[in-house]
């Protein structure tokens, strides 16, 4: 079973993904699109592209540029997403595990639903997202909202998901919510 995990910035996807790895252990394969992206950024052809387009290879500087200029963001995404999707596909094909969990922040934006048997959305309200991002990334409210708005609305993602994991309270409550969804998912898989 191939499971995509998504959400939006500041909802706690990474925390959920980390906890799923603890719970599932060797029973599953884990694919983290952020790690794949980070590795792709290290390739020379990518660095050359970034320098040509943005006059820098510093990711924070590039972030400032693309989150305030839609055309620049589209150009960056077009270049990067093809390589990222190819790598995710390769990793899924090579896996010999019964379960594959892939943490992909832009799963819906990139229309990757076709790659997964089930999709889990990690959810938090917009106010919680704003508060978490401002605190974590030390950003202004304006910059935080720009980043949130560069992604598809979390409410829309929530409606499209097979499962929703709410992350609006404590870490203990989040783990409880993940446990319930994993249990339900594994039961449904065994029933097939």
Q: Which two tokens stand for residue 95?
A: 């896996």
Half-sphere exposure of 110 (CA within 13 A, CB side): 22
> What is this structure's pTM?
0.86
Q: What is the pLDDT of residues 28-67, one digit of tens each?
A: 999 999 999 989 988 899 999 999 999 999 988 998 898 8
pLDDT of residue 192: 61
pLDDT of residue 24: 96
Residue 54 contacts residue 62 (beta carbons within 8 Å)? yes
pLDDT of residue 124: 95
pLDDT of residue 151: 84
């Amino acid at each position: 079973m191939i499971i995509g995990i998504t959400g939006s910035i500041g909802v706690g996807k990474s925390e959920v993904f980390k906890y799923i790895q603890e719970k599932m252990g060797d029973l599953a394969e884990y694919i983290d699109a952020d790690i794949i992206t980070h590795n792709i950024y290290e390739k020379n052809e990518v660095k050359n592209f970034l320098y040509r387009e943005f006059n820098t290879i510093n990711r924070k500087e590039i972030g400032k540029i693309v989150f305030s200029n839609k055309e620049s963001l589209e150009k960056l995404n077009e270049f990067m997403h093809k390589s990222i999707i190819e790598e995710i596909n390769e990793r899924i094909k090579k896996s010999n595990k019964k379960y594959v969990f892939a943490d992909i922040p832009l799963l819906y934006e990139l229309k990757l639903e076709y790659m997964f048997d089930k999709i889990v959305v990690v959810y938090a309200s917009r106010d919680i997202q704003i508060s978490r991002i401002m605190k974590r990334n030390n950003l202004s409210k304006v910059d935080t909202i720009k980043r949130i708005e560069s992604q598809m609305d979390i409410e829309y993602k929530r409606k499209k998901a097979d499962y929703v994991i709410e992350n609006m309270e404590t870490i203990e409550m989040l783990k409880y919510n993940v446990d319930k969804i994993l249990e339900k998912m594994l039961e449904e898989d065994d029933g097939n």
